[in-house]
Amino acid sequence: MPVGGLVELDLQAVSGVRLGTSMAGIRQTERDDLTVFEISAASQVAATFTKNRFCAAPVTLAKKHLLETAPRYLLINSGNANAGLGDLGLLAAEQCCSALADLTQSSATTVLPFSTGVIGEPLPVDKLIAGLGAAIDNLAEDHWENAAQAIMTTDTCPKGCSKTFQLDGETVTITGIAKGSGMIRPDMATMLSYIATDMPVSQPVLQQMLAQAVALSFNSITVDGDTSTNDAVVLIATAVLDCQEIQSTADSRYVTMFEKICEVCAYLAEAIVRDGEGATKLITIQVEQAASVADAKEVAYTVAHSPLVKTAFFAADPNWGRILSAVGRANIGSMNVDDIAIYLDQVCIVEAGKRCVAYTEEQGQRVMLQDEISVRICLAQGDHTASVLSCDLSYDYVKINAEYRS
């Protein structure tokens, strides 16, 4: 179960996007594992991808296709990452795109492929292609929740969010889904996310919106510090609404649109961390008074990735020395430890670089027993801030990953 539970899905259809799913049996035969998005011809598409140098074949091909033509279809499979296979993986991705193109009487370059699952095992192309027909027959605008379930791997629940609001005299809809539970530390995490809006937005502006929203959301979370070979976030603007396209950040509507995109991304990113493999606690690590945003993030991630810190949170053990030690080893240019303060929620545990004289073990214990905890670190070096969402490290995380291929 996700930490604190999640709001029940109530996903709104986005005109210009249809979704279909089917059970191809790629790794399991208990639920759908194949998803097709059909996108209207007028749509603009933006995307961000993993920075892992062993990026998966579908990532390589999706990037290539984005440069060549306007996408009309997204093809997503769970259960197999199609990564670490060299030319064999690329050929498999190309064959799947071609098969979908043949069935929809389109070009293979209009298909963007995405995969998630086990790395290093050949993609069962025959099974995937055999499942395409049923997914196409299943296409409908209101199948967002079906898709949210079909893209899951070790997720315990589907993740989705919708926003509707008034802009330019029109009711704008944004709907997004995501999957991810482990191998989460974006640059981009094993995470995939697909977001669509019916608002017309030019491709350059859409790409800028997505990059900035991802930096504040998906690229500010971590479960275990591992960056996947397959991560991707896609933002689609179908331009179905009868209003002028947003073509510049100077457009008066840009700020509202960007804020709503950020809200959807933030919800989905938090949902991934809440559903972290074996997670029992949601941890917010905020670093303040840093010399730069990069320094603030480095300190936050160093604390978030410490196995000793994460296991202390799981045990509800107020062993605050582990946090202090992690802060001290963060790879930033300079640090005056005598100026640093650290808080667990509102409880000061470190003041002027040493244990706060007013701190008691009972205060720390009360905070550590909570399901949701904040760690605030004040560096006294500048005015920059960054936050990272993380979770604890439990017995179940080890069990899930030890048995991942069983």
Distance of CA 116 to the CA centre of its chain: 13
Q: What's the CA gap between 303 and 54, in Å, rounded?
A: 26
pTM (predicted TM-score): 0.93
Query: What values do phi and psi take at 282, rounded to 5?
Result: -100, 125
Strands (E), 311-405: 341-344, 347-351, 354-355, 372-378, 384-391
**Neighbour count for residue 150 (Cβ, 10 Å):** 27
Residue 108 DSSP class = G
pLDDT beyond 90 at 22: yes
Which residue, 159, 168, 219, is CA-closest to 10? 159
Active-site pick, 190, 238, 280, 284: 190
User: 188 pLDDT band (50/70/90 cuts)?
Assistant: very low
- Which tops the pLDDT comparison, 149 or 51? 149
Q: What's the CA gap between 159 and 183, in Å, rounded?
A: 17
User: Does this chain's domain 17-274 share its CATH topology with 282-402?
Assistant: no
User: 186 pLDDT band (50/70/90 cuts)?
Assistant: low
Question: Which amino acid type is present at position 102?
Answer: D
SS (H, E, C) 188-244: CCCCEEEEEECCCECHHHHHHHHHHHHHHCHHHECCCCCCCCCCEEEEEECCCCCCC
Q: What is the pLDDT of residue 322?
A: 95
State pLDDT tens for residues 253-300: 999 999 999 999 999 999 999 988 888 999 999 999 999 999 999 999
Residue 294 DSSP class = H
Q: What is the pLDDT of residue 189?
A: 40
Token pair listed for 255? 């700020």
pLDDT beyond 50 at 139: yes
Domain boundaries, the chain: 17-274, 282-402
Read off the pLDDT of each residue in 199-219 and give the average, rounded to a whole number.
95
The fold for domain 282-402 equals Ubiquitin-like (UB roll) (3.10.20)
- Which tops the pLDDT comparison, 126 or 190? 126
- Which tops the pLDDT comparison, 301 or 8? 301
Q: Which residues pair with 376 in a beta bridge?
A: 286, 343
Q: Is 280 tagged catalytic?
A: no
Q: What's the CA gap between 279 and 3, in Å, rounded?
A: 7
Which residue bears the tokens 């009711």?
171
State pLDDT tens for residues 313-359: 999 999 999 999 999 999 999 999 999 999 999 999 999 999 999 99
Question: Which amino acid type is present at position 71?
Answer: P
Q: What's the CA gap between 150 and 127, in Å, rounded?
A: 15
pLDDT beyond 60 at 37: yes
The fold for domain 17-274 equals L-amino peptidase D-ALA esterase/amidase (3.60.70)
Read off the pLDDT of each residue in 98-122 and give the average, rounded to a whole number.
96
State pLDDT tens for residues 151-171: 998 898 999 999 999 998 999
